[in-house]
Structure 1
């Protein structure tokens, strides 16, 4: 089990996301009003709070949403889970669809630190069931 620590969106691609505290998740789309939503396999991005904290301990000083992640979760190391793993948070169900991503353009974090954790630690999921997720909700691994 994990705990949602941030729910982040951005209105345009290529910008850092902002913690909005609560959002609506839509089947086969993603998060309402998020620039990366759409009918594809990377509808929602997730990152472990512990990985952000480790990166900040190196001097990064980044905030939730800085890597473009939608959900920051405490208590789950996503990158060790297999593709197809399903999660449930309230009525929302997500399915892990991709681990990591290729970084085509180096972000400000990469230029400052010489590395970025999202391409290695970040994961992506599809929305299987509609609902709402807010900060401090529990998220459970179903399989």
Structure 2
């Protein structure tokens, strides 16, 4: 069953995010206390733990939040989620997929510089929050 492996936030854009045990999702805004929250289409970012595992083969010291991802998933094939698909995370939070991938920073992120590649442009998924609530690490994720 798909689940939340980690939740990560940061207080400024362009920074590595820090793992937190629980996060409050606000409808139409994103995650409370996260710099990427706002009234736009990329309120929350998701990245598969399986994708991160591949990079960790080259950089074993890689920590959660290194790709500026908000939610690290496990057992959810994010690459197959079409734009407009909805997910329920935990008991009540609902998000809608709005974008797949994004451009890497102009000069390339630290991961790309270290490994020669960055997975976020191909494998990162972005969503907006439709129904708010609290999500805890380990919560289930269900496709709606």
TM surpasses 0.5: yes
What runs of 5+ residues in structure 1 fail to find an aligned partner?
none
Shift of 1:21: 1.2
Equivalent residues of 1:60, 1:113 under 8 A apart: no
* Consecutive aligned runs of 4 or more in structure 1 exceeding 4 Å deviation: none
1:1-143 matched pairs, under 5 angstroms: 1-59=1-59, 61-89=61-89, 90-105=91-106, 106-142=108-144
Taking the aligned partners of 1:128 and 1:79, their CA distance within structure 2 comes to 21
Displacement of 1:42: 0.1
Greater alpha carbon shift after TM alignment, 65-74 vs 78-87: 78-87
Encode CA deviations 1:69-112: one digit per residue, 9 max, x unaligned: 00001001212211011000120000000000011321111111
RMSD, matched Cα: 1.0
Instruction: Calculate the TM-score normalised by the size of structure 1.
Output: 0.95
Number of equivalences: 142
Query: Any stretches of 5+ residues in structure 2 without a counterpart?
Result: none
